[in-house]
Amino acid sequence: MKPLLLTNVRLIDPKSGLDKIGRLLVKEGKIAAVDMPESEKLPDACEIIDGQGAVLCPGLVDMRVTVGEPGYEYRETIATAAEASAAGGITTMAILPNSKPAIDNPALVTLLKAKGEETHSVNILPYGALSVGCEGKEMAEIGLLQEAGAIAFTDGNKALENTRLMMLTMAYARGYNCLVVQHPEDPSLARKGSATRGELATKLGLPSIPAAAEAIMIARDLRLAELTGCRLHFGHVSTAEGLGLIRQAKAKGLPVSCDTAPVYFDLNEDAIGDFRTYAKLSPPLRSEEDRQAVCQALADGTIDAIASDHLPRDVDDKRLPFAEAAAGGTGLVTLLSVTLLQVKKGDLSLSDALSLLTYRPAELLGQQFGTLSIGVDADLCLFDPDQNWLVEAGKLPGRAQNTPFDNRELPGVVLGTWKAGRRVYARQSS
């Protein structure tokens, strides 16, 4: 592999606080120099790329991704998800375990990691199932799964409903210093619901889910975290009440964290108007007041990470009456751009926004990714924050096309993505 110099780029590394125009040198797949002086001699046969002032940051770390493999390859494979992630500047994906079969044995953890390595374009970090089959009835083999490489434990888009089993699982996970990730939605309140309870759901005649279903589950699990000492993370938090509980728990010093997804700070329930199934998600889109609360929690640090919440569906999953259509949307390609909207609005600095997409999710998962430090793998994303692009369902990279941002013009064109120094995505000039 030839040495690579990226010059005339705005280097942003939120972990170190670096933000300046400079040069970055890559040798043998590792970052060899950051902010390299112009006078320093380049290695022989060095490839030089002029970034023309674009932002060069660590490759994004997406801590919440569902792929269709194994079991639902018609929706998305690891290879097609890797294609989409590279186009979105993502170099690390944490994969949820609710596949078919669920990732509840060590062999499947090993298989997923190997599949990621085969793509040569993305790090795959498999979650292990919290319960056998993600069915919430029996604790999974957490110790063996961790030994095989599972980075944390969750039942994916299912909450573990049984309180006693959740307590025992968290106590067990505490012994292994494992992170437990919960889908915060009381299943008994959410069952068969498809929209947030309120005036709009009533008007559309849709079965609804009260927003309190999130806060109820968060309140229960925070009490269990206090009881067991287990590190606890809540995925895609979307309500003011839920965020308020997490904010209070953090102030008390509990080992708790959370993420949200772009849909919950950019869209509100109005997006499901006209029964638009691409906007049917889990949890459902919320009220404008909840959306604003998510924006506030991003700004004040209550939210620790932004994840794509990529949940691929195919046409047959969505081409149904709203109440019957499957919940979920694609998110890999739009993760960076929708986050940049918060920067454009002045709600986040660019560095703070990138921190939520790089080293902060990596640290939650106990990984060393998401930084421009010398000696680490050269996982890089080069993007132009001021150039816009049009989201068009049917023309996105990857297999899944069910985006709730269809026909939106978004900022932040990814120009190039590098995995361990190897270029895995290059923007084609129009």
Residue 430 pLDDT more than 70?
no
pLDDT of residue 41: 87
Catalytic residue among 221, 259, 309, 379: 309
304 is catalytic: no
User: How far is the C-alpha of 228 from the C-alpha of 181, rounded, in Å?
Assistant: 15
Structure tokens at 343: 């920067």
Mean pLDDT within 314-332: 93
Question: pLDDT digits over 193-230, tens only?
Answer: 999 999 999 999 999 999 999 999 999 999 999 999 99
The residue written with tokens 């604790």 in the block is 139
Question: pLDDT digits over 97-140, tens only?
Answer: 999 999 999 999 999 999 999 999 999 999 999 999 999 999 99
User: How far is the C-alpha of 85 from the C-alpha of 236, rounded, in Å?
Assistant: 19
Q: If you average pLDDT over every residue of the chain, what do you get? A: 96
pLDDT of residue 239: 98
Structure tokens at 25: 């040198």
What are residue 235's phi and psi, to 5 degrees?
Answer: -90, 155
Structure tokens at 418: 């590098």
Using DSSP, how many helices (H) and how many strands (E) does the chain show?
14, 19
Question: pLDDT digits over 55-94, tens only?
Answer: 999 999 999 999 989 999 999 999 999 999 999 999 999 9
Question: pLDDT digits over 332-364, tens only?
Answer: 999 999 999 999 999 999 999 999 999 999 999
Beta-carbon contacts of residue 277 (< 8 Å; ≥ 6 apart): 318, 319, 320, 322, 325
The whole-angstrom distance between residue 308's C-alpha and the CA centroid of its chain comes to 4
What are the start-end ranges of the E strands in 225-303?
Answer: 231-234, 256-260
pLDDT-based confidence at residue 37 (cuts at 50, 70, 90): confident
The residue written with tokens 């120094």 in the block is 421
Are 23 and 6 a contacting pair, CB within 8 Å?
yes
pLDDT of residue 428: 81
pLDDT of residue 407: 95
Structure tokens at 119: 């793509």
Question: pLDDT digits over 144-171, tens only?
Answer: 999 999 999 999 999 999 999 999 999 9
Share of the chain above pLDDT 90, in %: 95
Full-model pTM:
0.97
CB atoms within 10 A of CB 228: 21
- With vertex at residue 262, the alpha carbon angle to CA 394 and CA 329, rounded to the nearest 5 degrees, is 40
Q: How far apart are the first and last CA of the chain?
A: 29
